[in-house]
Amino acid sequence: MIVPNNEFLNRLLDSITKAQNDSDDQTPDGEGSAARGFQDIPGILADIRSELQGINRNLEVLVALAQGNGRKDSRRSPFRAGSQSPFFMTPGVREELAGVALPPETEPLRTFLNSYDLYIVSAGLRKTVSPANGTGMREFAGFIGKHYGDLAPALREIRRHYSADRYSFRWRTEPGFFTSPAGERFWQELQDLGLASKTAGSRGFPEIRLSEDPPARYFLTGGWLEMLAVILVQETVEELFEDSPDISLHLAGNLAVRSGDEEDFEMDVFFLLNGIPFWIECKTGSRESWQEDLMRYRELKDRYPILGRNVFLLSSDIEPECMEPLSRESGIRVADIPSFKRTLRDSVLSDIASGDMEGNPAACLRKGAPEPEREIPETQAYENNPGFQRLRERLAHAGIETADRNTIPEELDDAVNDFAAFLWERRSRLDHFDCLLRTALNGGDLEIPTGEIPDRHSLNYQFAVWLQDLRFISGYEYSKKKRVLELREVKSSRYGEFVSVYLWPAYIARRILKKFAGRDESEMPVILRRPVFRNAAGDEAEADLAVETGASWRFIIAGDPDEAPEDFITRIRALIKAGIPAESILAVTPAPGNAQKARLRAQLGVSLLSPEEAAGEIVRSSFAEVSGRDLQL
């Protein structure tokens, strides 16, 4: 690989900066396109420069990796005060870690974690680079949290420039932001705390100069959310409990932890409330930028159950309808700023109801606080399903645990399959309504245009009827005045989960059942949705469908057309690693080619089929004798 040297890129960046400054001087008076929200030449040059700087940094990382400075080496590097890396570990063994100097208030946390073979390497590391005005920063973080809806564009713009190592820029959003109450105080606080300065600039665009000090960079690129999380935790505890020595809260930020097997990770906020642990991770930026981290936290949660009891991800930029599906998928409570205190309060009350908290915290609840109610687990969809019980018993002999992640009620099974076929086969014509539903706020209403003469046999009406039958909406009504179908109480998160998790597998299930049409009821296959398998080593994987035909089982991994090939392969490998034999797995994609089939067979020993072929394969094997290799049962 040919890597351009840094000197070349630096000269290119300097040239672009000079061109930008020259162009700024020649900007005509009056309201140009930039004032109306469009980029002019300087703005375009600034974006190019930002991209090139990002490339430059990435190339440096690639060169470092090529020279052998991988993560395993770097995380053992000596501790440097002020480091911003999340893996700032010091070399040493358990005895040395036990002697790490920590603030006195974190000692109960150390004692708790040590009892679970977890060792604190450092606590509050970023305090070494925090501004002297700690109280002011804390108050500013609280202000940002209360007015984040108004301040989000400004924070995103600052984050973008910091990530490109740019400290001076012209503010190219609505100038009126600076005269709004929230915007005016925001910029005044930045200047008072020494985080940024603002001048009049020219052509109506204020000139912003960001501080180059690490404290400013840390705070404005996400540190404020970590400070806010601490504030919200303390407020929640104060609002729930009366002042009492029976309520003990031990809280720390930025805990760097090493496990007994030398697994290193950082915890943004960690606290003990009467002996019960709570772990909070904070994420700014778009969901796409941190979704991979969510899976990492899930791995840590599963590996260290004591930490996984109460895990939260607090995100500043997340769509409300995405929180529930992400929480269900990861097993981590995902919340935005407005909902975080309620989510945390409910978790605390649940822990009180469990009886695991030390002392008698229920007696210290403030007057009017909600009474703790013991959570009754939702009835599993397969809890009384004979087929699921047979599968669980069979796999138990092979040392494989079987769980259930299906959230579709059994009485809706057939309807879900039929709706999947209706939606999948007409997806191109319903795509617009599909997008509207997935972006609608939960509990809100939605309008679907029908035209002047409503046709009850049209796709619009059929779609609305399906949505009501499957409980995605509470009802619908035709408005003559608006000429629309008004959908009531849209459950967009529930619908979004169906589209992203169940749609394609449910369509495959329907194709399988159609192959058995006309057979006796005793000959019909048992189809289970989203079974989860875990072997003795803790390796876990999920199948989209498990199908019992006769005495044999087949496990289907359904490859959605939008799924990346490497993610599809990863899911298949995980199922094999969890203990499911490759010859029992059917990988299904819409239209696999012969080369794809041969490659997957050679690599993993798994059959790659179309839905029609998979249905035929299951029919052919339904009454065949179980081979000796079939699940080794």
Check whether residue 253 and residue 358 sit in a common domain.
Answer: yes
Query: Is the separation of the CB atoms in 474 and 489 below 8 Å?
Result: yes
Q: Is the per-residue pLDDT at 252 higher than 60?
A: yes
Q: Determine phi and psi for 33, rounding to 5 degrees.
A: -65, -30
- Give yes or no: residues 17 and 67 share one domain: yes
- Domain-embedded: residue 98: no
The neighbour count for residue 32, using CB atoms within 10 Å, is 13
Q: Are 322 and 355 in contact (CB under 8 A)?
A: no
* 8 A C-beta contact, residue 57 and residue 49: no
Cβ atoms of residues 191 and 198 within 8 Å: yes
**Is the same domain home to 398 and 311?**
no
Tell me the C-alpha distance between 392 and 386, whole Å: 10
Contact 388, 382 (CB under 8 A): yes
Give the burial string for 385-403 (b: 16+ CB within 10 Å, else e): bebbeebbebbeeeebbbe
Per cent of the chain over pLDDT 70 is 77
Same structural domain, 292 and 394? no
Least confident residue range of 198-202, 238-242, 368-372, 442-446: 198-202
> What is the reported pLDDT for 584?
93
Higher pLDDT, 284 or 375: 284
Report yes or no: 608 and 587 within 8 Å, Cβ to Cβ: yes
Max Cα distance, the chain (Å): 84
Tell whether 397 and 295 lie within a shared domain. Answer: no
pLDDT at residue 631, as a whole number:
46
Reading the block at residue 133, the tokens are 């005005």
132 in a structural domain = no
Exposed / middle / buried, residue 613 (Cβ in 10 Å: 0-12, 13-18, 19+): middle
Structure token digits, residue 516: 């058995």
Closest CA to 505 of 543, 533, 479, 473: 543
Q: Which domain CATH number covers 561?
A: 3.40.1350.10
Which pair of structure tokens corresponds to residue 290?
């941190």
* Residue 534 clears pLDDT 90, i.e. is over it: yes
Tell me: pLDDT of 521 over 70: yes
Q: Are 558 and 615 in a shared domain?
A: yes
**Is 125 a member of any domain?**
no
Range of the domain at 55: 1-23+36-72
**pTM attached to this predicted model:** 0.53
One domain, residues 235 and 349: yes
Is residue 200, in this structure, part of any structural domain at all?
Answer: no
Is 352 found in the same domain as 227? Answer: yes
The neighbour count for residue 237, using CB atoms within 10 Å, is 17
According to DSSP, the β-strands at 264-273 and 276-283 are antiparallel
What is the predicted pLDDT for the residue at 16? 61
